[in-house]
Amino acid sequence: MALDRWIALILLGICLAYGYAAWFTMDAGLAPFMQRNPIWPSTFPKALSVLGAGAALVTLFGLEKSNVKMGDIDYRRLHEYKLGQAIALLALMVIYALTLRPFGFLVATSGFLIIGAFILGERKLHVMIPVGVIAAFSVWYLVSQVLEIYMRPLPGFLLGLGG
């Protein structure tokens, strides 16, 4: 079995476990007034698990394959792929998760987007910096002001919160 199908099988298992948690365990502790809402906290995880399992099944059964043979991923030639970029992006995601609270959403997200673009090969700082800052501010504004979910925008010491 090709590497892409093994990965699809692993992702299918993850989606099924995530779906089980979303469908059967997440709603058990809901308050009575929330049980009458049309959208529950588990609505997005349920949809995500179904879509993820569907995409994994499409790859697992090879339904996405066309007549044009693009070249399968060959695990014996992994050194030829850009594994350094993938590992650097994964490390950057971990760093982003660890710095989100102490640095605030705007600083951490802008940094993540700018450094991520640099890792992927973009070298135009006059493009990366404004795009990263505008994207981070836009997401913060939508979540914080429109949805009214508080996210610390800046580091605590700048807001007088003591870190």
Q: Which residues contact 81 (CB under 8 A, 6 or more apart)?
A: 73
pTM, full prediction: 0.55
Per-residue pLDDT, averaged over 126-155, amounts to 87
Give the percent of the chain with pLDDT over 70.
86
Contact call for residues 121 and 115 (beta carbons, < 8 A): no
Report the range out of 76-85, 100-109, 148-157 with the highest average pLDDT: 100-109
What number is the average pLDDT over the span 102-117?
93
Please state, for a pLDDT cut of 90, what percent of the chain lies above it: 40
Return all residues near 30 (Cβ < 8 A) that are at least 6 apart: 40, 41
- Tell me the C-alpha distance between 96 and 112, whole Å: 6
Given this model, what pLDDT does residue 68 score? 45
Residue ranges of domains in the chain: 3-80, 83-159
Alpha helices in 35-104 (DSSP H): 43-60, 83-103
pLDDT at 156 over 90: no
Q: What is the pLDDT of residues 13-43, one digit of tens each?
A: 999 999 998 888 877 777 777 777 777 777 8
- Between 17-26, 56-65, 127-136, 146-155, the lowest mean confidence (pLDDT) is in 146-155
Structure tokens at 119: 């890792």
Q: How confident is the model at residue 130 (pLDDT cuts 50, 70, 90)?
A: very high
The widest CA-to-CA distance across the chain, in whole angstroms, is 61
Among residues 154, 149, 158, 44, which one has the least CA distance to residue 109? 154
Burial of 89 (0-12, 13-18, 19+ CB in 10 A): middle
| C-beta separation of 108 from 100 below 8 A | yes
145 burial class (0-12, 13-18, 19+ CB within 10 angstroms)? exposed
User: Confidence class of residue 69 from pLDDT cuts 50, 70 and 90?
Assistant: low
Question: 163: pLDDT confidence band, cut at 50, 70 and 90?
Answer: very low
Segment 47-51 shows an average pLDDT of 93
pLDDT tens readout for residues 85-99: 989 999 999 999 999
